[in-house]
């Protein structure tokens, strides 16, 4: 976007003077915490600080000097960001000050690199032993890097962070990812099949599942620091016109479409075959009623509507792949970061609000079969059957007059032992699986999608996920290890919980999905 804060926040002369006096950019570190990761250069005073995904000292510097010192430069890729606009900047000052700073920084970096090369050549001439030692150290470093490099990032193709965050989350849900990875190449079947959907008439001869399979395999190989999901994104463009272009999209909408599309494609490409052994991971479900998507993410809700006039009760069962939760209104006016002693919103508050009895508004009057007319009524949701992976979407965006605004309330969520038994149907005669107990109703967190920023059509998406026993932060191409405390402090947008006692149908037996 074009920023209107550049003239007062970009001081090319001051920054250039500071650059002349500082060390080589390769040796820069945050002025506060001394880290050398995610460094940003203030274009008003030349101070180097770390970004918001490390310790946020660059943003703290702006807060101290507000409204000045809001424009900074990414020392890695020279991108410009404005903290007031909360967006990356594409324009320059009338005098071209940003380009001058970039050029000066590149000159200093090139000069430092040349000096480093000369020093290295001099050391090589002086001692063959030191050369041998240096080469050995490099070889050892490459070997160590290969051993450590087991987590690949996803390159941002232009505001595609919404897709990257969802893909990284799904790739770390072992049962789902393991099944998709083990699928044989579907290209031959794809040429003979055609998808029929009501929502989209374009792209019916294109299949997302094959490109997703290739992407997940590449992510788990870990042979590269970052891979490009360009092929998958181009298929998404073909099958979903609204995702075309490089505008920021909603991660939850993308996730829902992706899962729905995968379910439809798998039912088309891999129909049930009774002649194949029942525990094969390559066959669909009996009678074509389910796929790996519904077997893992699918649950059932029961809605109960009661007429307030005659007491007539109506029940309906609805399948779901995720549950969207409102943030209770009593918490939406709170400050984003609660102070000491202030009541904090818990995930259980959102779940309780979802299952509470509510009276339908006048615009939603219920057509009572007994009264033969529309009457005032109440509605309540129960969870009739829990899924193996419980996906919870927190409604952080609401319409306010003409704009969608973000609810930035912090919500506490458990990393382990989410108990769902309180929100299930408890009448034994209603369903055989209604009263889940123990590990059947307990869930542990596997991944979180986070939205950073203030608007629905802007900001940035990242994700946290458990990978081989440890928590990692996936920020497009960057993958960094983090602790549980960091995860617990994030402002979650989508939560993926995995049931401790996973129950899969025969065609998705653990033996086949984990091999």
> Quick one: pLDDT at residue 283?
43
- Sort 398 into a burial class: Cβ within 10 Å, 0-12 / 13-18 / 19+: middle
Q: Which domain holds residue 99?
A: 4-111
Instruction: Tell me, yes or no, whether 451 lies in a domain.
Output: no
316's torsion region: left (phi>0), alpha (psi -120 to 50) or beta? beta
Integer Cα distance of 322 and 26 in angstroms: 46
Please, are residues 493 and 451 in contact by the beta-carbon 8 Å criterion? yes
Q: Is the pLDDT score of 272 beyond 70?
A: no
Q: Is the pLDDT score of 128 beyond 90?
A: no
Instruction: Tell me, yes or no, whether 256 lies in a domain.
Output: no
Q: pLDDT grade, residue 2 (50/70/90)? A: confident
> Quick one: pLDDT at residue 440?
78
Q: DSSP label at 363?
A: G
- Taking residues 194-223, what's their average pLDDT? 73
- Taking residues 219-224, what's their average pLDDT? 81
Q: pLDDT grade, residue 293 (50/70/90)? A: very high
Q: Is the pLDDT score of 372 beyond 60?
A: yes
> Quick one: pLDDT at residue 65?
87
Q: Cα–Cα distances in Å, from 317 out to 155, 170, 286, 383, 385?
A: 41, 27, 21, 10, 10
> Quick one: pLDDT at residue 277?
42
Name the average pLDDT for the chain: 81
Q: Is the pLDDT score of 435 beyond 50?
A: no
Instruction: Tell me, yes or no, whether 47 lies in a domain.
Output: yes
Q: Is the pLDDT score of 115 beyond 70?
A: no
Q: What percent of the chain has pLDDT over 90?
A: 30
The SS3 assignment for 324 reads strand
Q: How many domains does the chain have?
A: 1
Please, are residues 41 and 109 in contact by the beta-carbon 8 Å criterion? no
Query: Of 361 and 134, which is predicted with more confidence?
Result: 361
Integer Cα distance of 100 and 173 in angstroms: 47
> Quick one: pLDDT at residue 139?
63
- Taking residues 374-388, what's their average pLDDT? 89
> Quick one: pLDDT at residue 349?
93
Q: Is the pLDDT score of 121 beyond 90?
A: no
> Quick one: pLDDT at residue 508?
61
Q: pLDDT grade, residue 53 (50/70/90)? A: confident
Q: pLDDT grade, residue 27 (50/70/90)? A: confident
Q: pLDDT grade, residue 131 (50/70/90)? A: low
Count of alpha carbons within 13 angstroms of residue 227, beta-carbon side:
22
User: Token pair of 47, please?
Assistant: 């101070």
> Quick one: pLDDT at residue 15?
82
Q: Say which range, 71-75, 144-148, 157-161, 440-444, has the weakest mean pLDDT.
A: 144-148
Query: Of 148 and 461, which is predicted with more confidence?
Result: 461
Active-site residue identified among 3, 42, 72, 161: 161
Element (H, E) at 378: strand 377-385
> Quick one: pLDDT at residue 470?
92
Instruction: Tell me, yes or no, whether 168 lies in a domain.
Output: no
Q: Radius of gyration (Cα) for the chain, nearest Å?
A: 27
> Quick one: pLDDT at residue 359?
84
Q: Is the pLDDT score of 363 beyond 90?
A: no
Q: Is the pLDDT score of 391 beyond 90?
A: yes
- Taking residues 75-91, what's their average pLDDT? 83
Is 62 in the active site?
A: no
Q: Is the pLDDT score of 110 beyond 60?
A: yes
DSSP 253-288: HHHHHHHHHHHHHHHHHS---TTS-TT-TTS--GGG
Q: DSSP label at 225?
A: S
CB-based contacts of 43, cutoff 8 Å, min separation 6 = 9, 10, 11, 15, 71, 72, 73, 80, 97, 98, 101
Q: Say which range, 249-258, 285-294, 349-358, has the weakest mean pLDDT.
A: 285-294
The SS3 assignment for 475 reads strand
Query: Of 366 and 347, which is predicted with more confidence?
Result: 347
> Quick one: pLDDT at residue 216?
92
> Quick one: pLDDT at residue 427?
55
203's torsion region: left (phi>0), alpha (psi -120 to 50) or beta? left
Integer Cα distance of 113 and 119 in angstroms: 10
- Taking residues 215-227, what's their average pLDDT? 85
Instruction: Tell me, yes or no, whether 15 lies in a domain.
Output: yes
Element (H, E) at 65: helix 57-65
- Taking residues 387-392, what's their average pLDDT? 95
Instruction: Tell me, yes or no, whether 267 lies in a domain.
Output: no
Q: Say which range, 49-63, 78-92, 177-191, has the weakest mean pLDDT.
A: 177-191
Instruction: Tell me, yes or no, whether 373 lies in a domain.
Output: no
Query: Of 206 and 482, which is predicted with more confidence?
Result: 482
Q: Is the pLDDT score of 72 beyond 80?
A: yes
> Quick one: pLDDT at residue 461?
93
- Residue tagged 């508004």 (tokens): 361
Is 467 in the active site?
A: no
- Taking residues 403-413, what's their average pLDDT? 86
Q: Are strands 153-154 and 226-227 parallel, antiparallel or unpaired?
A: parallel
Q: What percent of the chain has pLDDT over 70?
A: 77
Alpha helices, DSSP H, located in 81-201: 97-126, 128-148, 161-171, 174-182, 187-192
Q: pLDDT grade, residue 199 (50/70/90)? A: very low
- Taking residues 130-159, what's their average pLDDT? 66
What are phi and psi for residue 8, nearest 5 degrees? -85, -10
User: Token pair of 5, please?
Assistant: 């804060």
Active-site residue identified among 460, 467, 473, 490: 460
Instruction: Tell me, yes or no, whether 222 lies in a domain.
Output: no
Q: Is the pLDDT score of 280 beyond 60?
A: no
- Taking residues 123-144, what's their average pLDDT? 59
Q: At 60, which CATH number?
A: 3.30.40.10
Q: Is the pLDDT score of 60 beyond 80?
A: yes
């Amino acid at each position: 976007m074009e920023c209107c804060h550049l003239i007062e926040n970009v001081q090319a002369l001051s920054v250039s003077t500071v650059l002349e006096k500082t060390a080589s950019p390769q040796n820069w570190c945050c002025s506060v915490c001394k880290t050398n990761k995610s460094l940003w250069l203030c274009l008003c005073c030349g101070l180097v600080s770390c970004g918001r995904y490390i310790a946020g000292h660059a943003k703290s510097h702006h807060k101290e000097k507000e409204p000045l010192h809001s424009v900074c430069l990414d020392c890695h890729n020279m991108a410009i960001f404005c903290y007031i606009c909360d967006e990356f900047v594409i324009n320059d000052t009338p005098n071209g000050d940003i380009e001058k700073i970039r050029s000066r920084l590149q000159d200093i970096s090139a000069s430092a690199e040349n000096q480093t090369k000369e020093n290295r050549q001099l050391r090589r001439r002086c001692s063959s032993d030191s050369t041998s030692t240096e080469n050995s150290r490099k070889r050892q470093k490459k070997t160590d890097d290969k051993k450590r490099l087991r987590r690949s990032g996803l390159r941002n193709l232009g505001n595609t962070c919404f897709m990257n965050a969802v893909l990284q989350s799904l790739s770390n849900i072992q049962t789902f990812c393991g099944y998709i990875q083990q699928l044989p190449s579907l290209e031959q079947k794809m040429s003979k099949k055609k998808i029929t959907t009501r929502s989209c008439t374009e792209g019916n001869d294109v299949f997302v599942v094959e490109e997703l399979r290739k992407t997940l395999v590449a992510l788990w190989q870990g042979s590269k620091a970052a891979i490009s999901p360009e092929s998958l994104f181009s298929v998404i463009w073909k099958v979903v016109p609204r995702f075309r272009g490089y505008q920021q999209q909603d991660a939850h909408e993308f996730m829902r479409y992706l899962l729905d599309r995968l379910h439809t494609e798998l039912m088309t490409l891999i129909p049930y075959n009774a002649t194949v052994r029942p525990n094969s991971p390559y066959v669909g479900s009996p009678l074509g009623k389910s796929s790996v998507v519904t077997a893992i993410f699918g649950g059932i809700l029961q809605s109960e509507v009661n007429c307030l006039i005659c007491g007539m009760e109506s029940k309906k069962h609805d399948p779901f792949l995720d549950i969207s939760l409102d943030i209770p209104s009593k918490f939406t006016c709170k400050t984003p970061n609660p102070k000491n002693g202030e009541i904090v919103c818990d995930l259980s508050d959102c779940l309780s609000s979802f299952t509470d009895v509510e009276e339908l508004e006048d615009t939603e009057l219920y057509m009572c079969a007994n009264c033969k007319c529309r009457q005032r009524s109440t509605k309540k949701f129960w969870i009739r059957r829990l899924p193996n992976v419980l996906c919870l979407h927190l409604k952080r965006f609401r319409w306010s007059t003409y704009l969608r605004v973000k609810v930035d309330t912090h919500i506490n969520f458990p990393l382990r032992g989410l108990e769902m038994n309180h929100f299930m149907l408890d009448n034994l005669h209603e369903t055989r699986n209604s009263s889940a107990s123990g590990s059947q109703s307990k869930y542990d967190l596997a991944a979180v999608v986070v939205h950073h920023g203030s608007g629905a059509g802007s900001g940035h998406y990242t994700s946290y996920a458990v990978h081989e026993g440890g928590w990692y932060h996936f920020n497009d191409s960057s993958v960094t290890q983090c602790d549980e405390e960091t995860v617990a402090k994030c402002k979650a947008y989508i939560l993926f919980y995995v049931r401790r006692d996973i129950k899969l149908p025969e065609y998705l037996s653990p033996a086949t999905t984990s091999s």
